[in-house]
Structure 1
Amino acid sequence: MKIGIIAASGKAGALITKEAVQRGHEVTAIVRHPDRVKMDVSILQKDLFDLTTTDLENFDVVVDAFRAAEGKEEQFLTSIEHLVKILTGTSVKLFVVGGAGSLYVDDHITHLYETPTFPEVFKPTSIMMGRGLEVLENQNGLNWTYISPAADFKADGPKKGHYVLGNEMLMSDANGKSEISYADYAIAMLDEIETGEHNCEHLSIVW
């Protein structure tokens, strides 16, 4: 497959890029700073907000691993709005690296970020990522999959090579822990890209 990865030099994006390359896909890193890409892949040097339909329409899949800076959390929303605008009507499927805060903890009433113990520092990001998800859910003409990690998303966690796939509900393991590493999240992302089984769905990943 021809896969374009936005923010391929970031922590999640780099591991997703690595996993895609290892599986033999034709990968293009879509980045502002090519020098930060540490793999031998094609480069499209461009800011996400400057991307056009022409830039992306020849990919089979575009992975959005963008992360907004602190104080600019609204860009989680506006970036999704921009990608929806330029991809609608194309054959490209959009995969979004989501957040755990938008997962439900009950029967589609309370999101994780709305619970009393959710850290205040993460709320602006989670709220905007949730609103970005709503944009995807309410559009027509674009195929997408939004994948949320477990509550504890471990950047330097081990690559165990396994995971449990769920829907938009927060999941935990047998010990009550909701965890996944970036490396195993990348495995799950590529599995979903290759199978293409979940269209216009919000999924979750846990060990």
Structure 2
Amino acid sequence: MSHDHFHVREFFTARAADWDRRFPDDGPAYAGAVADTGLREGDHVLDAGCGTGRALASLRAAVGPSGVVAGVDLTPAMLQAAVRAGRERDGALLLADVATLPLRTGAFDAVFAAGLVAHLPDPPATLRELARVVRPGGVLALFHPIGRAALAARQGRRLTSADLRAEHNLRPLLAGSGWRMTSYADEDARFLALAVREG
């Protein structure tokens, strides 16, 4: 495991047990973002960096019983918290690195990724890997339950133009990784960028 991965895992392991208690009001924001992703009954959707699985119920509701929902996370403690919350009923949980997914090329119609981009050691490579597992025309949703400015304030830092999730940085990053951004919203109550997998 790389040095970066160790720190990401350490960070989330320390926070896994009380993660859901710290952010209890995010449910409606997740449901809204999943609705905007435009999933259809029977779709196959991947929750990349699923954490404690807070998006899984909304994803399952969107794709229905005939759909496939899979959640992938690098941190065992996060997946254990998801199981304790009963969320494995809504989707298959996989312990894996989103940068090297043990999944078939083109297996998914969509990827939902909440709070993922800021934690990636190599964002372009990971976005290319997410593109690999999504069929052409499939969708990527990059979501965070609060916007960039609100998140920076919560973390006691200033927002800079170098922020990866700023539209002027994210659009070319996605374009270079097999995705075309189709919408971008950075509001107090949420961040949501949607992109389509290029053919």
**TM-score, length of structure 1 as denominator length:** 0.49
CA distance 1:21–1:125, change in 2 (3 Å): farther
- CA distance in 2: counterparts of 1:86 and 1:67, whole angstroms: 12
Aligned counterparts, 1:125-164, within 5 A: 127-130=163-166, 131-136=169-174, 138-139=175-176, 141-142=178-179, 145=182, 147-153=184-190
Instruction: Provide the C-alpha distance between the structure 2 equivalents of 1:124 and 1:55, rounded to a whole number of angstroms.
Output: 37
Task: Return the alpha-carbon distance in structure 1 between the equivalents of residues 121 and 172 of structure 2.
Answer: 9
Corresponding residue for residue 47 of structure 2 = 5
Give a deviation string over 1:36-65, Cα, whole Å, max 9, x none.
22311212210222326x445211111122
CA contact (8 A) 1:63 1:95 kept: yes
The percentage of aligned residue pairs carrying the same residue is 11
Mapping of residues 21-170 of structure 1, within 5 Å: 21-23=60-62, 24=64, 25-32=67-74, 33=76, 34-37=79-82, 38=85, 39=87, 40=89, 41-51=91-101, 54-55=103-104, 57-67=106-116, 73=118, 75-76=119-120, 78-85=122-129, 87=131, 90-91=135-136, 92-97=138-143, 100-101=147-148, 119=153, 121-123=157-159, 127-130=163-166, 131-136=169-174, 138-139=175-176, 141-142=178-179, 145=182, 147-153=184-190
Paired position in structure 2 for 1:175: none
CA distance in 2, matches of 1:144, 1:83: 12
Amino acid at match of 1:139: G
Query: What TM-score, normalized by structure 2, do the two folds share?
Result: 0.50
2:56 to 5, 10, 17: 17
| RMSD across aligned positions (CA) | 4.0
Match of 2:28 in 1: none
SS in 1 for 2:128: helix
More helix by share: 2
Amino acid at match of 1:2: H
C-alpha displacement of 1:78: 2.7
CA distance in 2, matches of 1:126, 1:17: 31
What is the total number of aligned residue pairs between the two structures?
Answer: 136
3-state DSSP class of the match of 1:123? coil
